[in-house]
Structure 1
Amino acid sequence: MVADSTASAGLRPLQNAVTMWAVGFDGSASSVLAAANALADGFDSPALREMAGLPLETSWWVSEDLVREAFAELDLDFPDASSPATKLVALRVMCQRFLEAEIGAEQLTEWAHSVIGHEFPDEQAEKFVLLDDTDDYMPERPADWAPRVRSAAEAFIARD
């Protein structure tokens, strides 16, 4: 079990990986590797050990119950792919990936449009959807579009 917020913060990579798997962006490999890293960092539970031993290409549908069990044993909230809170965690991961140049501005805004969508209950998150609309409906991308995406990502990461 995870007893304090410091320990919980140590499991954030596992939570982020499973969130991205749950929303359908990443495959299982990131979550399996994050489980192995959590074990190496001193976190332990029977289901976490089993999760760390899964094949890297494991299907979400095959392993969801095991991942739920590991999260319960570690006293972590399991990500609900349809909840706004889970989508905000996923957006934070995507913004971080963008700022680390793992993905481009277009991939970030297109992803946000497909996952966050219009009328999301968070104005800062919906900004990425509107930036995607600007890119989609303008004959040419405005010169300040990419810097606006970067600014939005930096602001989103900096909040909280």
Structure 2
Amino acid sequence: MDRLRHSAWQYVAEVLHAEELPMLAAHALVDGHDSPSLRELAGLPRRSDASEVRELYVQALHELDVPLPDDVAAGRCLLVSLAFGLAEGELSPKEVADRMSMTVTALSEEEARFLSVAADYSEWLGPTDLPGWERDLRTAAHALAASTDLAPSIGRPGMRVT
């Protein structure tokens, strides 16, 4: 069920696209989850009508009692996911800035700091300013990853502070 629960915040945060949902459904079936809408979704081609795909996905979640989070919760999960991605070397600072694709609300001091530093990115940052911004973003990412209680919501264990 974790795969589906994690997909729910990604769907609301608009980082999980309609063409990815049929394969996600197929994996969920392999994981042992089953519902009529999930089976139908898993059988759709990748390039199916996006509206139909989204409707089936939401219906499958409903049938499996997987709630869709609200925009605030999904945005916070996105923020924490990006922080972990940067802290663990999976994302570059620029990729983090580029993936801030929706309005997010920061509820903790660490979330606010990470969001604030990420928002300072501009393609016009000069070569002397960019390393400082990257360093500040990495520092904020590590602080957020170490302090958050949302790690399980995004499919990450709590970060080990070294």
RMSD (Å), alpha carbons: 2.9
Which structure exhibits the higher relative contact order, with contacts defined as CA atoms closer than 8 Å and separated by 6 or more residues? 2
Write the letter of the residue equivalent to 2:31. D
Secondary structure of the residue aligned to 2:15 is coil
CA distance in 1, matches of 2:112, 2:27: 33
| Aligned mate of 2:103, from 107, 110, 116 | 116
Identity %: 26
Asked whether the 8 Å contact 1:109–1:132 carries over to 2, the reply is yes
Match of 2:43 among 53, 60, 70: 53
The alignment status of 1:130 with 2:116, answered yes or no, reads yes
SS in 1 for 2:32: coil
Name which of 86, 90, 94 aligns with 1:106.
94
Q: Distance in 2 between matches of 1:62 and 1:128?
A: 36
- Aligned residue number for residue 138 of structure 2: 150
> Structure 2: which 5+ residue stretches go unaligned?
150-162
Query: How many Å separate the matches in 2 of 1:61 and 1:142?
Result: 40
- In the alignment, does 2:79 pair up with 1:91? yes
| Distance (whole Å) between structure 2 residues aligned to residue 96 and residue 30 of structure 1 | 22
TM-score calculated relative to the size of structure 2: 0.69
Shift of the alpha carbon at 1:75? 0.6
Shift of 1:84: 0.4
Change in Cα spacing, 1:115 to 1:125, as seen in structure 2 (3 Å) is farther
